[in-house]
Amino acid sequence: MNIWLVMLVGGLITFGMRFSLIYAFGKLHIPETMRKALHYVPPAVLSAIVFPELFIRSGRVDVSLDNHRLLAGLFAVIVAWASRNTLVTILAGMLALFIVQTVLK
């Protein structure tokens, strides 16, 4: 994989989407289904990335106390829900991972 090619194509696509309707004002409309779908893009894409990061350890789903990242991640979910703050969530999750790794070693 060439990271520069990925960034170039990803950047052009992003620009194209930002430019699309400003350029084609009045000629192009966003279909209703796509408007609806956009609500679910963040929860779906982000969860699809986060779940494997938390649950899968050495190639297998691991739901046990040995899975430190899962424990710290669940704690971060609670902190994110209560604080709604990105920085606080990251710091709490990192701290939780550090504590879990130290205590459950």
Residue 61: what are its φ and ψ, rounded to 5°?
A: -70, 125
Among 67, 71, 89, 100, binds another protein (CB under 8 A): 89
C-beta of 7 vs 65, nearer to another protein: 7
Sign of dihedral through CA atoms 99, 48, 5, 1?
Answer: positive
43 binds another protein per the rule CB under 8 A: yes
40 binds another protein per the rule CB under 8 A: yes
Between strands 56-57 and 60-61, the pairing is antiparallel
Distance from C-alpha of 4 to C-alpha of 71, rounded to nearest angstrom = 36
Distance from C-alpha of 9 to C-alpha of 71, rounded to nearest angstrom = 37
66 binds another protein per the rule CB under 8 A: no
Residues that bind another protein (CB under 8 A): 1-11, 13-15, 17-23, 25-26, 29-30, 33-56, 61, 69, 72-73, 76-77, 80-81, 84-87, 89-90, 93-94, 97-98, 101
